[in-house]
Amino acid sequence: MKIAVVTASGIGDGLILHIASHNLVQMEHEVITFNDHLAGFGEWFRGYSFSNQPLLFAQFDAVILQHDNSPKAKQIRALDLPVYTFYGSHQVSKHGALRDTDYVANPNQTMVDNITKAMEKWFGVASKENGMTPLAGLVHRKYPSRVAIHTTSGAREKNWPQEKFYHVAKKLQNMGYDPVFINEPGGRPIFASLEDLASFIYESGAFLGNDSGPGHIASYLKIPSLIIGKEEKQMRLWRPGWMAPEVLTPPAWSAHWKWTRNKWKHFITTRSVIKTLKCKVLKN
161 DSSP assignment: P
Element (H, E) at 205: strand 204-210
Distance from CA of residue 26 to its chain's centroid?
22
* CB contact at 8 A, 167 and 270: yes
Task: Give 129-174 pLDDT, tens digit per residue.
Answer: 999 999 999 999 999 999 999 999 989 999 999 999 999 999 999 9
**Domains with residue ranges and CATH for the chain:** 2-123 (3.40.50.2000), 143-281 (3.40.50.2000)
**Alpha helices (H) in the chain, listed in sequence order:** 11-26, 71-77, 92-95, 111-123, 162-174, 194-202, 213-220, 232-238, 258-261, 270-276
* CB contact at 8 A, 128 and 19: yes
The span from the CA of 228 to the CA of 211, in Å, is: 6
Amino acid at 137: G
Task: Give 6-21 pLDDT, tens digit per residue.
Answer: 999 999 999 999 999 9
What is the C-alpha R_g of the chain? Answer: 19
Other beta carbons within 10 Å of 109? 14
Task: Give 33-76 pLDDT, tens digit per residue.
Answer: 999 999 999 999 999 999 987 778 888 999 999 999 999 999 99
pTM value > 0.75: yes
**Region of residue 30 (left: phi > 0; alpha: psi -120 to 50; beta: else):** beta
